[in-house]
A = this chain, B = another copy of it.
Amino acid sequence: MLKTPRTKLRRVPNRGTHERARIDAILDEALISHVGFVHDGRPAVIPTLHARVGDEVLLHGSAASRMLRALAHGVDVCVTATLIDGLVLARSAFHHSMNYRSVVLYGTARPVTGDDRLAQALEAFTEKLVPGRWADVRAPTRQELKGTAVLALPITEGSAKVRTGPPIDDDEDYDLDVWAGVVPLSLTASRAEPDPRLRAGIAQPPYVR
């Protein structure tokens, strides 16, 4: 299913895969996606919080209100999630690169409706940000659910691409007097900053490192 003419891996195909497990792992690790859609015949790309739930990717609508307006019948989207893993320093300028993992999904995203499904989506987004958080926070009201725009995209057409490892230089360049290697990069949390308006006596929960 995931492999279609549109998702056939053309360029450096050995870096690509249609394996669901690989795709899911990247979607689950990436905090945000970039959602592309066509607006008045022209492309638009908006960063959006997403959460995978089973065979769907849920897209938080708050960042994509334009996309979500008047879209009761669904919208053709491309959802791309990218993790940056490192800078790849080769001996030649030409072979510099990055290590990364990315997923590109295509399909029709449809609005999530109904209080139960919207509440489940809010739970998925909250747990995505910080696993364990949902149980501690005030649950959404009916009014808040009404104000929550969520799109669901089935995971049916897409692929993942991964680059790992050291630079690949031209054979003759390995003799050059140039340092080469990888600088690993990762999205890293630092010490939590309590809300200045936090009430006294509330302990920092364990899921906030």
Residues of A within 8 A of B (CB): 6, 10-11, 31-32, 34-39, 41-47, 49, 62-63, 65-66, 76-80, 82, 84, 87, 89-94, 96, 98, 100, 102, 104, 106, 122-123, 125-126, 129-130, 133-134, 136-141, 144, 147-148, 166-167, 173-199, 202-205, 208-209
Contacts and interface: CB of A to CB of B under 8 A. Distances in A.
B84 A187 contact: yes
Choose among A36, A49, A89, A93 the residue with the greatest number of B CB atoms under 10 Å from its CB.
A93
A38 B38 contact: yes
A79 B46 CA distance: 9
A28 to B, nearest CB: 16
A184 B190 contact: yes
SS class of chain A's interface: helix, strand, loop or mixed? Answer: mixed
Contacts of A6: 39, 42
Given A34-B80, A37-B43, A179-B194, 15 more contacts: A31-B84, A32-B82, A36-B36, A38-B42, A42-B106, A43-B78, A45-B104, A84-B187, A91-B137, A92-B140, A92-B144, A137-B178, A138-B176, A181-B204, A183-B208
A146 to B, nearest CB: 11
B187 A199 contact: no
Contacts of A209: 183
A78 B138 CA distance: 37
Report the 4 A-B pairs with minimum CB-CB distance, sorted nearest first. Answer: A34-B34, A36-B45, A36-B43, A36-B36
